[in-house]
Amino acid sequence: MNNARHRRPLRNRSVYQFQEPQAPSTIKIKPLYFKLGAVALILAALAWGIFFSSIFAIRRVIVSGSQDPALIERTRVFEGKNIWRVTTSAIETGIIQDFTQIASVTISRGIPDTIKLEVHERPVALVWVAGTQLAFSDNGGIISKVIPTTELSPPSEGDQFTALRVAIPENLSATPLVWDTHGAPVDARNFRLPLVFVAVVLEAHQALQEEFQLPVKFFLVRETTLQIEAVTERGWRILFDTTRPFAAQRLGLRTVLDTRAADVRSYIDLRVDGWAYFK
C-alpha cells in the first residue's frame, strides 16, 4: 500500500511533450484559376447584355407581302421583347395556322432592335361562291380567305343563265368562278376542295378560253363536286366529270365542235367516258 501511495504519476506525452509552433498554412491559387474566373464573369456580363438588357429590345417590326390588319396587330406582341429570346420557328408556325391565306412566313432579325416578316400569301386560283360568301381557293383547294357579300345575282334554273355578278377584287376578274347552288356556308379552317376538282376546273377554264374560244362565265356545282357545268358566253353548258382528268374529256369536246358545232343549242355532256352527248 505504501509503495502505491508514493508512486510517481505517469506523464501523457501527447499532453506534456513540447511542440514547436507551426506557421499558418496557405493555399496557393494558380494563375489559371484567376483567368477562368475572369472569363466566366465576362461571359456572364455578356449574356446579360445580350439576353436581358434593353439594348436588344425590339422597337420596330416590318411586315412585307401582306397588309392584313389582323396580321399587323398580331406582330405587336414582338414590341419590347428581347430580339434574341424570340422563338422565330414557333411564331412562324403559329401565324400559318391562324392565317389560312398565308402559305409561308420567314422571320429575320435586324440587329439591334428590328424584326422583319417576309409573308407569302396563297395565290387565288378560283373563287368559290356560296350564298353570300366568296371563298378564295388556291390550286391545292385550300381556302385562303372568306368574305361576305350581298352583290350576288344567282343563275336561273333553266337553260339560259344570267351573268354572275360578284364583288371580287378587280385583279381577280379573270379568275374562274364556281357557284355552289346549295349555298352551304364555308369555314376556311374546315373546308377544302378536292385536288382533282380544282385541277379540272382550272384546265377546263383555260382550254375553253384559249383552245376552243368558248369563254366561261362561271361554273356550276349542283349536287356534288364530282361533276361540274361550265356556263359559256354562247349560252352553252358543258358538263364535265371531275373524277377524271380534263385531258380525257378534251377529245370528246373537240370531236363535237369539229363535226357538229352547228347543231349544238343547249349543252355538251362529257361525263360518260368515251362518249359525248349534245343537245
**How would you classify residue 57: left for phi > 0, otherwise alpha for psi between -120 and 50, otherwise beta?**
beta
pLDDT at residue 160, rounded to an integer:
40
Question: Which stretch of DSSP H or E encloses residue 228?
Answer: strand 227-232
pLDDT reported for residue 173:
77
Q: Does the global pTM surpass 0.95?
A: no
Helix (H) or strand (E) run with residue 71 in it: helix 69-74
HSE-up of residue 142 (Cα within 13 Å, Cβ side): 13
Share of the chain above pLDDT 90, in %: 21
pLDDT of res. 99: 86
Look at residue 48 in the predicted model and tell me its pLDDT: 59
Q: Which of 7-16, 220-229, 230-239, 268-277 has the lowest mean pLDDT?
A: 7-16
Identify the bridge partners of residue 232 per DSSP, sorted by sequence position: 216
Q: Which of 71, 79, 90, 87 is nearest to 113 (CA)?
A: 79
* 14-50 b/e (C-beta count within 10 Å ≥ 16 → b): eeeeeeeeeeeeeeeeeeeeeeeeeeeeeeeeeeeee
Lowest mean pLDDT of 120-124, 160-164, 181-185, name the range. 160-164
| pLDDT for 108 beyond 80 | yes
Q: What is the pLDDT of residue 136?
A: 92
Region 182-211 average pLDDT: 90
Please give the grid coordinates belonging to residue 211.
383552245
Question: What are the backbone dihedrals phi and psi of residue 185, each rounded to the nearest 5 degrees, phi first?
Answer: -60, 145
**E-assigned strand segments in 31-132:** 60-64, 102-110, 114-121, 126-130
**CA neighbours within 13 Å on the CB side: how many for 278?**
17
Instruction: Write out pLDDT tens, residues 118-157.
Output: 999 889 999 998 888 889 999 999 998 888 876 565 565 4
% of the chain at pLDDT higher than 70:
74
- Check residue 114 and give its pLDDT: 86
Residue in 128, 130, 132, 131 with CA at minimum distance from that of residue 144: 128
For the segment 62-99, what is each residue's pLDDT rounded down to a tens digit? 888 888 888 888 888 788 788 777 777 888 888 888 88
- For the segment 206-262, what is each residue's pLDDT rounded down to a tens digit? 999 999 999 998 899 988 889 999 998 888 899 999 998 888 899 999 999 899 888
